[in-house]
Structure 1
Amino acid sequence: MKKIKSFLFLLLLFMAVIQGFAQPVEQNVKVIVAPDHTDWQYKTGEKVKFNVSVLQYGNPLKNVKVKYELGPERMAPEMRDSMQLAAGLYTINAGTMKTPGFYRCIVTAEVNGKKYRGLATVGFDANQIKPAAASSPADFIQFWDGAKADLAKIPMDARMTLLPERSTEKVNVYHVNLQNFRLGSRLYGILCVPKKEGKYPALLRVPGAGVRPYNGDVATAEKGVITMEIGIHGVPVTMEPGIYANLAAGALSGYQASNLEDRERYYYKRVYMGCVRANDFLTSLPQFDGSNLGVTGGSQGGALSIVTAALDPRVKFLGAYYPALSDLTGFMLGRAGGWPHLFNKDNVNTGSTPDKVKTTGYYDVVNFAKLVKVPGMYSWGFNDETCPPTSMHAAYNVITAPKSLFLALETGHWMYPEQRENMDSWLQKQLKVN
């Protein structure tokens, strides 16, 4: 019975990971939308054309009715229309943008009573996109220096529980919990440590949004790296899956906007400090080599990777997929803002009150991106409808440290295997492992 429960736990965990990072499910009919520039990038004022086709088994379907809409990403469409694809192919002569940003074409086709959707998003002078807020808060650095000083006064009180059922011949796996940014507040994660005696580099894995259990990064640990995968909600990360579903629907529902009106009480303060506290723990381990520490994650985890690298000088490199929490006030300028879209007019959980807007200045990833001093690898696609590329480029463009951007143009809030392979290869090079 114990083995069955363990198998079911791992199966559910695997499904949760796949749901967060896998490609969309393949469909019998595909709506293909492609711009006339192969790099999907244009100069402001230059007009874009979108080539549309509806394919079944690789061949164009004729006489299919499609509807399309055009306009800046996540904004109200500037144009809507419909047409009949007599030959299965059509070119839409679209508009342009007068200022740097991203422009999207969404096409919906109906085949045998079922709707299929495709889209393409092009960048206009994307490397010139600037943050919506002209500057960081005047006391931004002082605020976070104060938070870190307060954290340093809190005893770590590290507690490690060996998980023999998850350990391997080469790696010990532990459920770890640490005292976080105030007395009694805990941070939980899965630590993987090579069994062979020696000194090793370390990699902190920070999580995407949501509430879930974690399994740890055993595969990287087996290559000779100490890894730690953390949760952010102050609850154990080895509980039954149903508990997380209850928390997500209950106490932790909408956590992204919790106490947004107060910079001291906003939910992400505990999260950002938790990442620093995780590094306190990793660098205290006797197996740590004393130098090589990196951080990586996607979406919310992409944001936390940038934040952690900016806050903690012990971090030597970062890898970020489609970072969230970037350029949060973009909606107030009439363009797409970063996830969780706090100031989008359709977001019923927030509103652009002065206190809330002020708080976001202290948590917006663009303001941390300005402070990053270590090499970083970044990756996303233009079709991301969760973390708008406008918001991600606003953060990327202000980074002055060595950086590289792997664009997988047509991906949304997911990644191709090539993206992951490229990132893993880069991270392993920084970690100095094969």
Structure 2
Amino acid sequence: MANDKVEDLLKYRGSSPKPDDFDAYWARALNELDDQPLAYELVVAQFQTPLAECYHLYFTGVGGARVHAKFVKPKASNGMGPGLALFHGYHSNSGDWFDKVTYAAHGITVIALDCRGQGGLSEDNLAVKGNTLKGHIIRGIDEGNADRLYYRHVFLDLVQTVRILKSMDGVDPDKIGVHGCSQGGALAIACAALEPSVKLAIPVYPFLTDYKKAWEMDATSSAYEEIAYFFRFLDPLHTRQDELFHKLGYIDIQNLADRIEAKVIFVTGLADPVCPPYTQFATYNKITSDKELVVYHEYGHEYLPFLSDRVLQELLNL
């Protein structure tokens, strides 16, 4: 039964629309980012270990927001090593230092971004019209165009993060990996799509994909619940349904997937109630670069055994 389900999922191409000016939209956004300096500030962290140097890193993102990331580099350097950008789950933050130190102990330099206005130290200075209810997917949806969407700014932060990482001493710019789970998985895909220098992407049960399908599957108690809340409280007659899904198309990672040049190890669980597998496969099926699908048949949106070991091995083999 599980194998039959995978075969069915591998045929799915998505339900949400892709705006006609999608490529122009992101070309304009990246041009804006190109005008943003790569300047950053390093602040020595209170947490330190014998194996790594730990810092708080701050940079100014598009729109002037002060963005924070954890930065950890090996204390003993053997020349140029891999770099890893880590992205966190929805509402969360860049996490503890512990896992970053593990990578650094193996010669991998790590930068772990805090998404604007979520659980970390990055600020969200985006002033937009309308009520966002309780989340970020629809933040900026009431603006006249899609340039004020929250995730447009976050996606550009991803690219800026990797560009900073590539500029660091001891980092081989040809050995850059990105990794994350849920929202972090979506951000890994978006980053690899918008920053072609990324060589390896390991997204895990990604969020932010195929919004219309998630809504059609009644994902009202999951990461996509904001869409249902939007209709219930702000548009109960669905007069703005087409407008909503059109604008969300600009920040739908399935529409970015065919840009990816990196190797992709795409990890999913078939029992995922938070980010339904169909929405994830809408993205996977559009990736045209070298890719591998890793399926956890009885697992959902949770800890996946052996995965951390695999991530480390892949980075060491870059």
Task: List aligned pairs for 1:2-401, cutoff 5 A.
Answer: 37=1, 40-42=2-4, 122=5, 125-133=8-16, 136-163=18-45, 165-183=46-64, 185-197=65-77, 198-212=79-93, 214-216=95-97, 217-233=100-116, 237=120, 253-262=134-143, 263-331=146-214, 334-335=216-217, 339-344=223-228, 348=232, 351=235, 353=240, 354-401=242-289
TM-score normalised to the size of structure 2?
A: 0.85
Residues 1:158 and 1:235: Cα distance change in structure 2 (over 3 Å): farther
Aligned partners of 1:300 and 1:236: how far apart in 2?
A: 13
Counterparts of 1:213 and 1:125 in 2: how far apart (Å)?
35
Measure the CA separation in 1 of the matches of 2:148 and 2:196: 25
CA distance in 2, matches of 1:345, 1:128: 30
Q: Give the secondary-structure state (helix, strand or coil) at the position aligned to 2:63.
A: coil
Change (3 A) 1:206 1:385: same
Give the number of equivalent residue pairs. 298
CA contact 2:55–2:70 (8 Å) conserved in 1? yes
Write the distance in 1 (CA, Å) between the matches of 2:167 and 2:120: 22
CA distance in 2, matches of 1:390, 1:317: 23
Q: Between the two proteins, what is the percent identity of the paired residues?
A: 25
- The CA deviation at 1:427 is 3.2
**1:236 and 1:388, CA in 2 relative to 1: closer, same or farther beyond 3 A?**
closer
The residue number in structure 1 matching 2:125 is none
Quick check: 2:68–2:121 contact (8 Å CA) kept in 1? no
Instruction: Give the secondary-structure state (helix, strand or coil) at the position aligned to 1:256.
Output: coil
| Change in CA separation of 1:211 and 1:236 when aligned onto 2, cut-off 3 Å | closer
The structural deviation recorded for 1:419 is 3.0
**Distance (Å, rounded) in 1 between the aligned partners of 2:277 and 2:88:** 20
Residues 221 and 331 from structure 1, CA distance in 2 versus in 1: closer, same or farther, beyond 3 angstroms? closer
Matching residue within 291, 311, 314 for 1:423:
311
Offset at 1:369? 1.1
Give the Cα separation in 2 of the matches to 1:124 and 1:347. Answer: 33
Unaligned runs of 5+ in 1: 1-36, 43-121, 240-250
Taking a change above 3 Å as real, the CA distance of residues 325 and 213 of structure 1, as seen in their structure-2 partners, is closer
- Return the alpha-carbon distance in structure 2 between the equivalents of residues 252 and 176 of structure 1: 31
Cα gap change, 1:271 to 1:413, in 2 (>3 Å): same
> What is the distance in 2 between the residues matched to 1:286 and 1:391?
39
Whether the aligned pair in 2 keeps the contact of 1:188 and 1:236 (CA below 8 Å) is no
Provide Cα deviations, 1:120-177, integer angstroms capped at 9, x if missing partner: xx556121111113x63222122112111111212333110011x4222121000011
Alignment partners' CA distance in 2, 1:145 and 1:404: 28
Query: Is the helix fraction higher in 1 or 2?
Result: 2
Deviations 1:89-138 (A, max 9, x none): xxxxxxxxxxxxxxxxxxxxxxxxxxxxxxxxx556121111113x6322
Structure showing greater Rg:
1
CA RMSD of aligned residues (A): 2.6
